[in-house]
Amino acid sequence: MATQAPETKPVEDSVSKVGDLAVGSDLDFQRKWWRFSNGLWMLFTCLIVADLLGCFGRGPLADASASTSDGSMDVKYERIERFSTPSILRIEFGQKAIHQGKVQLWASDSLVKPLGNQRVIPQPLTSVLEHAGIDYTFQATSTPASVEFALQPATPGIYNLQLKVPASPALDLRIYVMP
């Protein structure tokens, strides 16, 4: 009795082929990867737009100004600054701040230590340390008189700066220093 050879069938593979090369695909994984990739592109786009607007310093959202209700002081400054990057804080004094050709300005000590005041333009006639700040006296030959403080923040953080001229309300400024 002759044994019959078992019937053989070619192996069928569900993996698609390109030529002799088997190329598999996992469509579920690809969809997850595409969602992840698109999410990263959206995140990077948002970061670039935020940077261009000034959310990380030097842009339209970073520039700020404040003034007292009586018009004695107008301040232009950067509310978002960068660590160790120079910036200018400019103060214009109105007629109410000028007394006998001089302007007196008190600035809290955060102007010197964390915000890193480098120089004052023009030089004050006097500067006296008092009441957790510095009291400056400037010559005021014209209206509006102006003063510039060249800042270079020493450490990142959120700092409150208070400015005041006698017989006027104080200005409270909040400055964010980015790393």
Mean pLDDT, residues 17-29: 76
* pLDDT per position as a tens digit, 11-21: 666 667 777 77
What single DSSP character describes residue 125?
Answer: S
% the chain with pLDDT above 70: 94
Residues 45 and 93 in one domain: no
Greatest alpha-carbon span in the chain? 132
Q: Encoding tokens for residue 79?
A: 């509310």
Residues 84 and 172 in one domain: yes
Residue 14 falls inside a structural domain: no
Mean pLDDT, residues 151-179: 93
Give the whole-angstrom CA distance, residue 113 versus residue 109: 6
The tally of domains found in the chain comes to 2
How far from the centroid of its chain's Cα atoms is residue 27's Cα?
A: 42
Residues 102 and 162 in one domain: yes
pLDDT of res. 2: 64
Mean pLDDT, residues 141-165: 91
Residues 37 and 69 in one domain: no
Residue 122 falls inside a structural domain: yes
Mean pLDDT, residues 152-177: 93
Residues 92 and 147 in one domain: yes
Residue 10 falls inside a structural domain: no
Residue 170's SS3 state is coil
Residues 121 and 139 in one domain: yes
* pLDDT per position as a tens digit, 73-116: 999 999 999 999 999 999 999 988 988 889 999 999 998 889 99
Residue 135 falls inside a structural domain: yes
Residue 116 falls inside a structural domain: yes
Residues 93 and 135 in one domain: yes
pTM recorded for the entire structure: 0.76
Helix (H) or strand (E) holding 28: helix 27-53
Residue 138 falls inside a structural domain: yes
Residue 3 falls inside a structural domain: no
Q: Residue 99: which CATH number?
A: 2.60.40.10
Residues 39 and 118 in one domain: no
Residues 156 and 109 in one domain: yes
pLDDT of res. 55: 86
Q: Render the burial of 29-39: b for 16+ CB within 10 Å, e for the rest.
A: eeeeeeeeeee
Residues 49 and 90 in one domain: no
Q: Give the range of the structural domain holding residue 119, as residue numbers without chain letter.
A: 63-178
Residue 113 falls inside a structural domain: yes
